[in-house]
Amino acid sequence: MQNSLFLAAALLYAVCALLPSRRGALISGVTALAWAVHGAALALDIVSPGQLRVGFAIMLSSALWVSVAAYWLENRNFALDGMRRLVMPFAFVAALLPLVFPGSVLELQDQSPAFGWHVAVAVLAYSTLTIAAFHAVLMALQEARLHTRGSNGGWFAGALDQLPALLTMEKLLFRVIWIGFVLLSLTVLSGVVFSEQLFGRALRLDHKSVFALLSWLLFAALLAGRRWQGWRGKTALRFTLAGFATLALAYVGSRFVLEVVLHRGVA
């Protein structure tokens, strides 16, 4: 069932990417439908009675699912058609990833009921900060494009030219970072305070914990610097990408190595 839904979501994302900009109402409707189908596929694939499916493909697919929701909501307040042309191709690929890399199944019979919530918040935190990283890359490319606007850069350059002004993009970036930071804080806090109840053992400083804490510190420093020192521009972009990179190493990087490079399904 979920495989068909993933395929349907990918097809709808492709349609949405190819629709002309003047069909705003149709684009909004197709985006909402694709997002709903993708969400249903993820729900059926990830959660089943007494089991939880985990893996790098699931995480990335969830991240793009949240990205589509963010695009759809923000597009109601800002002109983000250029972002649609960039987000939808990635969403198309992300919807197909779980079919190729299904991940592994984690048994929940012996886990605390709070464990499922911990995992859900962690996935949302990673997904939201993935959006922030993607947004930061777009801003860097958009700034570079300002210096070469006279040249013909093709489809990609045209999409960048349709993005909102850099100040608006920066405002959106920090809104997303704040949401992601709150979710990441809840993830780290639950992991530290409730480790015994969640995982049946005291907290261990393994690579996941260390990289997650380092990511939290980087985003905390960025938000503090923004509040007290007025950080913006390249400084903000560097901290955003560094924070995301460490968070990716905390989970997705290790899962990718285990599942794709080493062909193991260890949780």
Per-residue pLDDT of the chain (267 residues; tens, 9 = 90+): 788 999 999 999 999 999 988 888 899 999 999 999 999 999 888 877 777 777 778 888 988 898 898 888 887 777 777 778 888 999 999 999 999 888 777 776 666 666 777 777 888 888 888 888 888 888 888 888 777 765 666 667 777 777 788 888 888 889 889 999 999 999 888 777 666 655 555 556 666 778 888 999 999 999 999 989 888 878 888 899 898 888 887 766 555 544 444 455 444
Distance (Å) of CA 215 to CA 86, 126, 218, 232: 26, 11, 5, 19
Looking at residue 133, its pLDDT comes to 87
Instruction: Provide the Cα torsion 25, 29, 32, 35; round to 10°.
Output: -120
- Gap between the Cα atoms of 54 and 115, Å rounded: 13
Looking at residue 262, its pLDDT comes to 45
Looking at residue 202, its pLDDT comes to 52
Looking at residue 199, its pLDDT comes to 57
- In DSSP terms, 105 is beta-bridged to 53
Q: For residue 239, how far is the Cα from the chain centroid?
A: 17
Q: Which of 168, 178, 145, 139 is nearest to 78 (CA)?
A: 168
According to DSSP, residue 258 is labeled I
- Gap between the Cα atoms of 137 and 145, Å rounded: 12
**Could you tell me the residue ranges of all domains in the chain?**
2-261
What's the pTM?
A: 0.77
Are the C-beta atoms of 41 and 95 separated by less than 8 Å?
yes
Are the C-beta atoms of 131 and 83 separated by less than 8 Å?
no
The two structure tokens encoding residue 187 = 């993830």
Looking at residue 257, its pLDDT comes to 47
The two structure tokens encoding residue 167 = 């100040």
Please tell me whether residue 248 adopts helix, strand or coil conformation: helix
Contacts of 267 (CB under 8 A, 6+ apart): 54, 104, 106
Looking at residue 252, its pLDDT comes to 61
